[in-house]
Chain A
C-alpha cells in the first residue's frame, strides 16, 4: 500500500497533544506549534465553513467563538486552544436543524452577497445575541467594524443583526 510519508519534524519538540471541544464534540489532535487555529479547523477537521481571508487579523472572515467569545482563527495558534470550547459556523444549524435567529435574519434580510465574509459576521452576531443584555448600537457598530465585506453589503448585514437582536431581546 502506498502511504504518504510523515513530514519530517521541523522542530524536535514542536508537536503537542491538544484536547478541545469543537462544536460540542471532543477532539484530540497532535498539532505542530505553528499550526494556526483556522488551519486546524479547515484542513485537519474539515470544517471549511470558517473562511480565511487576509490571514493577519484584519478582515474578520475567520472569526470563531472560543469559550463564547469571538476571536480571529488566523491570529490564534491551535496549541493555545488546548482545553478550550470552540464553535464554528457549522455548529449553528447542524444537519436538518432549523436555522438560528441570526442565520434566519441574514437569510431574510439578504445579509450576504458573495457570502465569503458571512461566517465571520454570523459568528460575531451570534456572540452579540448571547450576551446577557442587549448590546448598544455603538457596540454593534464596533463589532461589525471588525469585519470586511468586500461586496460592501453592510446595509443588509446591519439590518439582519438588528432583526436578530430585536428577536432575542425585544424591540
Chain B
C-alpha cells in the first residue's frame, strides 16, 4: 500500500502555503498529521499532485487561551497535546474526552485537531465536539481570511466550507459557563470510528436544574447532527429518569441516521438513544 507519486512542499508562511494551494496547475492537498490522509494515499483513494505540509509554518503550532478567555488551536497542533493541556482539560473537557476516543496514542501524537475537522469524517469525534462547542473556524485563502461558525462549516461527508485553495488556520473555542461534558460512543473495536456517538454539555442552574443543554451526534448523518428536541427535553429538568427518557424519545422521534454496512438506521437510532442517556448521566455528574 504505497501512495502514487506526488510532490511535497513545506512552506514557511501561511501566505506561501495558500499560494501553493491556489496554484491552478496542480491539485494540491494540505498535509498536517496525515493520519487520515496517508492511508487514503496508500489505498489510492486520494491522488493529489502536491502535498502542502503546514507543520513547519511558524505560529500554526500555537495552543493558547487569549485575553477574552477563548481557546485557540493552530493548524499543526497535535491532538495529544490538546488532550493533555491543563487549560483544555479545565475549560473544554469535551475536547479532551473526544480526543481520547480517537484511534490510539500514536495516532493522536501525529494527528491534528484542525486536520480532523477539515477531513470531516462524519463518524469522527472532533467535528461533533466542535459543533457542540460552537467553534469558530478561521480559514485563509487567496480571497483573504474569514471565520466560519461550526454550524456552517460541515457541509457533507468529507466536505467542509474550506475551499481547495484555502487553509484552516485555527479553531477557536470561546469561553463558556462551567458545564458538565461527556462523549459516549459505540465502536466495533476500541479506537475505531464511531458507529454512532453522542456529545453532551449540561449547564447546572443554582436551583439544581438544567439551565442549558447541548446534544450533538456523530455517525448519524453526513455531518455532525445537533438535536434541539433532545436539548429541549433536558432544559429546565432535574436531569432525572423522566427527563432522560424524554430525551431518548426525542432521539427516536427526530434523529434520522442512515443505513450502511456497519449498522441499520434503526440500530443506530436505538444505540444513539442509549448513548445519549449514558452521556447525559456522566455530564450531569460533572456539571
Contact = CB atoms under 8 A, between A and B. Distances in A.
Contacts of B34: 75-77, 80
B7 A14 contact: yes
B8 A70 contact: no
B8 A76 contact: no
30 contacts: A10-B5, A12-B7, A32-B5, A33-B6, A33-B8, A34-B4, A56-B42, A57-B35, A57-B38, A57-B39, A57-B103, A60-B106, A63-B106, A66-B109, A69-B109, A74-B38, A75-B35, A75-B38, A75-B39, A75-B110, A79-B8, A79-B53, A80-B34, A80-B53, A124-B105, A124-B106, A142-B100, A143-B104, A145-B104, A146-B106
Given A57-B35, A69-B106, A72-B107, 6 more contacts: A36-B38, A55-B1, A57-B39, A75-B107, A143-B104, A146-B191
Interface in A41-66: 55-57, 60, 63, 66
A13 interface: yes
B105 A143 contact: yes
Interface of A: 10-14, 16, 32-34, 36, 39, 55-57, 60, 63, 66, 69-72, 74-77, 79-80, 82, 124, 142-143, 145-146
A82 B224 CA distance: 36
B190 A71 contact: no
Contacts of A60: 104, 106
Contacts of A143: 104-105
Contact of B105 (A33, A39, A56, A70): A70
B2 A36 contact: yes
Nearest to A83: B56
Interface string B38-49: 110111000001
B4 to A, nearest CB: 7
Interface of B: 1-8, 10, 31, 34-35, 38-39, 41-43, 49, 51, 53, 55, 80, 100, 103-107, 109-110, 190-191
Contacts of A63: 106
Contact of A34 (B6, B39, B103, B105): B6
A126 B58 CA distance: 31
Contacts of B100: 142
A36 B104 CA distance: 20
Nearest to B37: A75
A87 B131 CA distance: 38
A71 B110 contact: yes
Contacts of B4: 34
A142 B110 contact: no
Given A55-B42, A76-B38, A77-B34, A146 B105 contact: yes
* Residue of A39, A63, A71 contacting most chain B CB atoms (<10 Å): A71
A148 B59 CA distance: 37
Contacts of A33: 5-8, 51
B35 A70 contact: no
A7 B190 CA distance: 42
Contacts of B3: 34, 36
A145 B10 CA distance: 33
Rank and list the top 9 A-B pairs by shortest CB-CB distance, nearest first.
A146-B104, A10-B5, A33-B8, A56-B39, A34-B3, A55-B1, A70-B106, A69-B109, A75-B38
A57 B109 CA distance: 13
Contacts of B6: 11, 14, 33-34
Contact of B8 (A14, A55, A71): A14
